[in-house]
Amino acid sequence: MQAVLERELVEQQWTQEQQEVDLCLDVTDLSIFYGPKQAVKNVSMPIKRHSITALIGPSGCGKSTFLRSINRMNDGIKGFKAEGNILYDDVNLLDANIDPVALRKEIGMVFQRPNPFPNSILKNVTLPLKEHGLKSKAKREEYAETYLKQVGLWDEVKDRLHESALSLSGGQQQRLCIARTLAIQPSVLLLDEPASALDPIATAKIEELLLKLKEKYTIVLVTHNLQQAARVADDTAFFYQGEIVEFSDTKTFFQSPKEKRSEDYISGRFG
Ligand SMILES: Nc1ncnc2c1ncn2[C@@H]1O[C@H](COP(=O)(O)OP(=O)(O)OP(=O)(O)O)[C@@H](O)[C@H]1O
């Protein structure tokens, strides 16, 4: 009897703790298929608001597929099918009536290779503002300055705003792409290996930026760089063959993983 009561108490406390966590995205039972191939298998993941969640795991384990399903970037792929729930403010983002264009304003994405528009540095940030209905040019330029400052690029580019964005270094281009994404005022940022094409100094700047941005945004980050996950993420999810092997706070994951496969992956024994 005593044991039953104790177990009930523990369960109650656990439920209370779960309820107290402020979730931005609550993924439950997500399965994703490309035709007959199942790339993501019954994945559940609570993604906390104003936190960085890192998705790690060997190549082909489903990290990008999972990430891209959050803002419905995979929708156009032939044979693609997603089942389960991705709750965002109690709305299932997988519902057929969700408008993917409106969704992508709320949940922005930055890709592996910096891909600025072949326009001026300034226009890379003012164009999305214009597309989203900001009519005043002066206001657009004012906002552009704010976003360029947010990504720590303003001082580096303020005297060359009308030069081509392609004249910037890779790291600067990637921070410009982040500024461009911020300009559409999302709440969530999805980043698919944003620093994998950058040198260590540019990578450090991106990591510093992510730590600053999480005060305002919720960040989900795919990375192959385990040290990067350990440095910046609050929570870490380890994917393997479409499943989540382990999800926990980053410190616990790297210092005392519960699963043998996590331990092997962290210590470089596979993947
Ligand atoms: N467009 C597609 N059509 C068919 N299969 C796909 C498609 N994109 C991905 N896949 C398959 O889905 C599985 C998961 O791929 P995904 O790109 O999500 O893995 P990943 O963990 O992000 O890999 P990487 O680290 O190499 O980017 C893989 O087996 C891959 O071959």
> Is the beta carbon of 61 within 6 A of some atom in ligand 1?
yes
> Is the beta carbon of 32 within 6 A of some atom in ligand 1?
no
Q: 204 lies in which domain range? A: 22-266
Q: What is the pLDDT along the chain (271 residues), one digit of tens a residue?
A: 566 556 566 556 555 555 578 999 999 999 999 999 999 999 999 999 999 999 999 999 999 999 999 999 999 999 999 999 999 999 999 999 999 999 999 999 999 999 999 999 999 999 999 988 899 999 999 999 999 999 999 999 999 999 999 999 999 999 999 999 999 999 999 999 999 988 999 899 999 999 999 999 999 999 999 999 999 999 999 999 999 999 999 999 999 999 999 999 999 987 6
How far, in Å, is the centroid of ligand 1 from the Cα of 256?
29
Secondary structure of residue 160 in the 3-state scheme: coil
Distances (CA, A) of 25 to 5, 19, 219: 32, 13, 11
Residue nearest to atom 5 of ligand 1 (CA): 34
On whether residue 5 sits in a domain, the answer given is no
> Is the beta carbon of 180 within 6 A of some atom in ligand 1?
no
The answer to whether residues 25 and 188 touch, using CB atoms and an 8 Å cutoff, is yes
Percent of the chain as helix, strand, coil, to the nearest 5: 40, 25, 35
The answer to whether residues 23 and 46 touch, using CB atoms and an 8 Å cutoff, is yes
Residue nearest to atom 8 of ligand 1 (CA): 65
> Is the beta carbon of 33 within 6 A of some atom in ligand 1?
no
* CATH number of 58's domain: 3.40.50.300
Please state the ipTM of this predicted complex: 0.98
On whether residue 7 sits in a domain, the answer given is no
Please give the model's pTM, rounded to 2 decimal places: 0.91
On whether residue 226 sits in a domain, the answer given is yes
